[in-house]
Amino acid sequence: MPYSLIVTTGDSSNNPDPGATNQPSFPSTSATSAPQGPLSGVRVVEVAGWMAAPSAAAIMADMGADVIKVEPLGGDYMRGAMRPPKVDEQHPAAGFDAAFNADNRGKRSLAVNMKDSRGAGLVQQLAGRCDVFICNLLPERQRRFGIDAESLAARNPRLVHATLIGYGSHGDEADRPGYDVTAFWGRSGLASLAADPDSGQPRVMPNALGDHMTGLALLAAVLAALRVAEQTGKCQVVETSLLATALWGSSTDLSTTLIDGYQPSRRSRSRQLSPLNSTYPCAEGGWIVVTMPGTYPTAWPDLCRAFDLAELINDPRFASGRDRFRNMVELLEVMDARTSTRTVADWGERLDEVGIPWSAVQSTADVVTDPQVEANDFIAEVPMPKPGSDAAVRTVAAPMKIEGSTIAPRGLAPSVGADTEHVLRELLELDQEAVVELESSGVIARWSGESG
């Protein structure tokens, strides 16, 4: 199956960047011979774009579920939104949409114009033939397309209907669009907690961290709801939001704020409460982070010995935790001068000897070659369907394992509409003539690349 361009017919106006799909892509590569997973036999219909809800469905696909991704005719807005790999044109992964693949691997793609009532009707019918329906459309849009929980439960009484939105389905802002940066980071107070301690300026947050945390919350709720649906035979309505997940993630701080109304202090490194929980510069430009509760009676002496600073143990300036806090600037000057003389690996050995938890502060480039990551299969490989090549693309594995079951990518993300015809004929029993008519009317799109 060679690299091909996506060619669609009909309206792609619901994709803000229709040209984003004109990149090397593949027909469906969902593995049919892969070992069964814990969700084998479960069918999921996903009407969701970007990253949060699709990431939950991607893990379900890793677990063996048949996930049908419903996309606009121009494709999920996330296609082509992130940078491609920085490799030469001859590299097997040149132009590969790695970020989109991470959240959409192993799925089937059905390209449908839901603004057309016939397109919405196709999705409604599919929901009647699936176990789980995952959606990130706002409540008003779900009702407009007839894919809200009440409407679909009438078709499928045992359905698990799962919604992931920005701010929750109640209140004045239920229909406010929410994104990782706004609903998760900004609205929740997390951006304020991570702001520069001196200027108060919020920091730029890592891409999609909140999306993927919220995707895990959705996954957990869906799996629990599946069990209840099997037990009761009744539709289960599942919901989570970026804002709710952010509050849960920051609950250690928020739990106290709920009582006293005060925000935790933002502290620069020189104003940290303890040198036992700090970062230290090392030789060759590295940094190391250590953490040790000050309640351990030997913690401070152990840290001093590990860093070859035994003379600080009985130094009256640093005798107690309060003394060390009051003299933190002076203390860090002494400690930084010493830690800068050796590498992270050198100090790591010393810290291990005294039992102080530590880690290198790694770059993402360091992480992907980390031996511990490799030893635990935290990175997965998926073959790339390029003629004459046995190349595989590396992607982040789902963050869980079940002994005796396979949780792994079943294939790469599909091209837009790669499975449109197959899904409509297999599940909705449409004949070839009906599929062609829907395509010519701009209701659906089929992947039209060459194969072979």
Domain coordinates in residue numbering, the chain: 18-250+377-445, 269-364
Query: Among 221-235, 238-252, 253-267, 351-365, where is mean pLDDT lowest?
Result: 253-267
Q: For 269-364, which CATH class?
A: alpha beta
- Give me the architecture of the 18-250+377-445 domain, per CATH: 3-Layer(aba) Sandwich (3.40)
Query: Among 9-23, 58-72, 428-442, where is mean pLDDT lowest?
Result: 9-23
pLDDT at 14: 36
- pLDDT at residue 219 greater than cutoff 90: yes
The answer to whether 18-250+377-445 and 269-364 have equal CATH topology is: no
Query: Among 38-42, 267-271, 285-289, 399-403, where is mean pLDDT lowest?
Result: 267-271
pLDDT at 369: 93
pLDDT at 192: 87
Q: With pLDDT > 70 as the criterion, what percentage of the chain qualifies?
A: 90
pLDDT at 295: 64
Q: Please, which pLDDT band fits residue 29 given cuts at 50, 70 and 90?
A: very low
Q: Please, which pLDDT band fits residue 12 given cuts at 50, 70 and 90?
A: very low
Q: Who wins on pLDDT, 247 or 16?
A: 247
Lookup: tokens for 332: 């860090």
pLDDT at 449: 60
Average pLDDT over residues 426-442: 95
Q: Please, which pLDDT band fits residue 303 given cuts at 50, 70 and 90?
A: very high
- pLDDT at residue 18 greater than cutoff 80: no
Q: Please, which pLDDT band fits residue 201 given cuts at 50, 70 and 90?
A: confident
pLDDT at 204: 75
Average pLDDT over residues 397-418: 93
Q: Round the average pLDDT of the chain to a whole number and report it.
A: 87
pLDDT at 270: 75
- pLDDT at residue 2 greater than cutoff 90: no
- pLDDT at residue 35 greater than cutoff 70: yes
- pLDDT at residue 92 greater than cutoff 50: yes
Average pLDDT over residues 12-24: 36
pLDDT at 5: 25
Average pLDDT over residues 299-324: 93
- pLDDT at residue 436 greater than cutoff 90: yes
Average pLDDT over residues 30-58: 87
pLDDT at 447: 81
